[in-house]
Amino acid sequence: MTLPFHHLLAGNRVGGIYFSIMHIPDGFLDLKTAATAGGLAALGLYAGGFAGVARDAETGVRRVSLLGMAAAFVFAAQMINFPVVGGTSGHLIGGVLIAILLGPAASVTVMTAVVVVQCLLFADGGITALGANLFNMALVAPLGGYLVWMLLQRINPVAASDTGSAVAAGIAAWAGTMLAALSCAGQLALSGMAPWGLVVPAMAGIHALIGLGEGIITGLIIRSVRRRGALSAEMRTAAGADQRSTMRLLPVFFITAAGAALFIAPWACPWPDGLEAVAGSLGFEVHAAGPVISGICPDYAIPALGTVWGTIAAGAFGAIVTALLILGAGRLAARREQAPVIDS
Amino acid sequence: MNTNSISVSIKLGAAAAGVALLLVLPGSGSMSHALYASILFTGFWLSDSGRTRRSRGGWIALVIVSGAVMRGWITGNADAGLEIAIRGLLALGTLLLLSAHLPPAELARWLRARGISADLVGTMLLLLRYGDLLHQEAFRLERARSSRSFSTSAETSWRAKSALLGALFVRAVSRAERVYRAMLARGWK
């Protein structure tokens, strides 16, 4: 016989601030939000399950061993504390880091394994909030961060160098953390846990700093790994970092973008933006001319669908169009790079 | 108490049902909550401490209580906060009890039998097998570095710790190759 509880709490470290407070516990989300997030996570992971399918059994075994060790690395890295300020410390989250090193498909699998193990075997994150936690940490953070990384790689040639790559990785990791925090804030607000106007500044403020830490650590690790040349082309292909595997992940990108829009868009602030506020205070708002070309979804709404659903649909539509434009621009840029040089 | 003979479906189902029950129970301090807590307490009492895992339960409890205080403060209703705290803490207790009685290998077999991809299940198993090992390796790397370093600031600098994690990743990748060969040698498919 032993005293209950004491042995279960043996490993906790309450002394330091724990980087990321995104593991939503049970009781924080209402049924509709938990079910929606769970459905989106299941849909995304189901669609993503095909992205990592190996072409042959041997590659499959290599892939499992690589992903397993990457997951073990994330798990171990989360136990290494980085000093912050005032005796507090934080640690790496790792989703964007793995997405950059081993590809987005590998990152989704690794982060899913980490979040499921943390929930079922370490009680970190609620069982009813497992879907929401998976959506935020295994889909939004790595895929959002990876999109930013890809975009930076496309538009900035300096990003190919060691230092440029580290900076781009840092920005991507910061963006991934912020996107996941905003999605988490949207879920909490949708559940009525706290009003949007309160939960977003709180989550965004804390995670802007946490993301900064995540960005610096990610950038430094990327630089360190690149300098050592640790990953062979074979390994990256087995992990699914090649373009073909990434393209097969497109439906997951769309589901994630639409889901994030679902949680964030309805809470778009109805207040006037900076220019509108200045125009209003100076009294020339009435003189403003109407738009030369009317947008497809003016004021982020589709009137036929009502306020909330209209904003959700407009947000999802915008996210999909933006993703398609980025991919199209990327393809054009890649084609231009591959164009043969004709000597005169 | 040995619970190996109980199937994973029953354990997971019972935990999920318990948490769902907590979410629908009205009020914050009813007899039903007290009964649930006493059942949970008995479960912990009968649990073999050797089977339990190290968990950040204390930290998670702190997050739950902070959320509950915030909820009470926002709504101006202490009961609303208390309700969240009691639900959250009892649900946390349920998950801690589940984690103490859920062998990873059984969970993996259960997930695989339900059509979850071999990639994900294999990743989870290797994570559990090598997570602690890599943590110990990181600890050894850090000890080795601090034994060769005289500056306190260098010991705690982000650059030094990131380089350590970079080295850990390289070691993890090199170990992955060894694991891959070992898996092939054992006919893993």
Question: What token pair was written down for B47?
Answer: 């649990």
For position A170, what pLDDT does the model report? 92
Residue-averaged pLDDT of chain A: 75
Q: Are A99 and A107 in contact (CB under 8 A)?
A: yes
* B56 φ, ψ (degrees, to nearest 5): -90, 40
Position A1 pLDDT exceeds 60: no
Distance, in Å, from the CA atom of A184 to the CA atom of A22, rounded to the nearest integer, reads 7
**What is the per-residue pLDDT across A191-239, written as a single tens digit (0 to 9) for each?**
888 888 888 888 888 888 888 888 988 998 888 888 877 777 777 777 7
Q: How confident is the model over A30-42, as a mean pLDDT? A: 90
Q: How confident is the model over A7-13, as a mean pLDDT? A: 36
- Categorize the per-residue pLDDT at A40 as very low, low, confident or very high, splitting at 50, 70 and 90: very high
Q: Which residue has the higher pLDDT, B141 or A84?
A: B141
For position A285, what pLDDT does the model report? 54
Q: Do B176 and A66 touch (CB under 8 A)?
A: yes
Position A86 pLDDT exceeds 90: no
For residue B74, the chain A residues in CB contact (below 8 A) are 194-195, 198
Q: Please tell me which of the candidates B56, B119, B158 has its beta carbon nearest to residue A220.
A: B158
Q: Please tell me which of the candidates A12, A58, A225 has its beta carbon nearest to residue B57.
A: A12
Which of A121, A163, A187 should be substituted to probe chain B, the one whose Cβ sees the most B Cβ atoms within 10 Å?
A121
Distance, in Å, from the CA atom of A106 to the CA atom of A70, rounded to the nearest integer, reads 9
Question: Number of Cβ pairs closer than 8 Å across A and B?
Answer: 269
Distance, in Å, from the CA atom of A111 to the CA atom of B158, rounded to the nearest integer, reads 24
**What is the per-residue pLDDT across A230-285, written as a single tens digit (0 to 9) for each?**
777 777 777 777 777 778 888 888 888 888 888 887 665 555 554 455 456 555 55
A98 in reach of chain B (CB within 8 A): no
**What is the per-residue pLDDT across A158-204, written as a single tens digit (0 to 9) for each?**
666 778 888 899 999 999 999 998 999 999 888 888 888 888 888 88
* A230 φ, ψ (degrees, to nearest 5): -75, -25
**Residue tagged 């600031």 (tokens):** B153
Give percent of chain A above pLDDT 70.
Answer: 64
pTM for the whole structure: 0.79
For position A207, what pLDDT does the model report? 83
**What is the per-residue pLDDT across A277-303, written as a single tens digit (0 to 9) for each?**
545 655 555 555 555 555 666 655 666
**What is the per-residue pLDDT across B81-127, written as a single tens digit (0 to 9) for each?**
888 888 889 999 999 888 888 888 889 889 888 888 888 898 999 99
Q: Do B91 and A193 touch (CB under 8 A)?
A: no
Q: Do A77 and B168 touch (CB under 8 A)?
A: yes
Position A21 pLDDT exceeds 80: no
- Give exposure, B161-187, as e/b (b: 16+ Cβ within 10 Å): bbbbbbbbbbbbbebbbebbeebeeee
Radius of gyration of chain A (CA): 22
- Categorize the per-residue pLDDT at A18 as very low, low, confident or very high, splitting at 50, 70 and 90: very low
Distance, in Å, from the CA atom of A204 to the CA atom of A210, rounded to the nearest integer, reads 10
Q: Are A265 and A312 in contact (CB under 8 A)?
A: yes
For position A261, what pLDDT does the model report? 85
Instruction: Return the DSSP state at B52.
Output: P
| ipTM value for the complex | 0.87
Q: Which residue has the higher pLDDT, A323 or B123?
A: B123
Which of A18, A59, A61, A69 should be substituted to probe chain B, the one whose Cβ sees the most B Cβ atoms within 10 Å?
A69
Q: Do B127 and A114 touch (CB under 8 A)?
A: yes
Q: Count CB-CB contacts under 10 A for residue A241.
A: 21
SS (H, E, C) chain A: CCCCCCCCCCCCCCCCCCCCCCCCCCCCCCHHHHHHHHHHHHHHHHHHCCCCCCCCHHHHHHHHHHHHHHHHHHHHHCCCCEECCCCCEECCCCHHHHHHHHCHHHHHHHHHHHHHHHHHHHCCCCCCCHHHHHHHHHHHHHHHHHHHHHHHHHHCHHHHCHHHHHHHHHHHHHHHHHHHHHHHHHHHHHCCCCCHHHHHHHHHHHHHHHHHHHHHHHHHHHHHHHHHCCCCHHHHHHHCCCHHHHHHCHHHHHHHHHHHHHHHHHHCCCCCCHHHHHHHHHCCHHHCCCCCCCCCCHHHCCHHHCHHHHHHHHHHHHHHHHHHHHHHHHHHHHHHHHCCCCCC
Q: Do A7 and B52 touch (CB under 8 A)?
A: yes
Q: Do A123 and B92 touch (CB under 8 A)?
A: yes
A336 in reach of chain B (CB within 8 A): no
**What is the per-residue pLDDT across B40-60, written as a single tens digit (0 to 9) for each?**
888 888 876 665 666 677 878
Least confident of A84-93, B23-32, B72-81, B133-142: A84-93
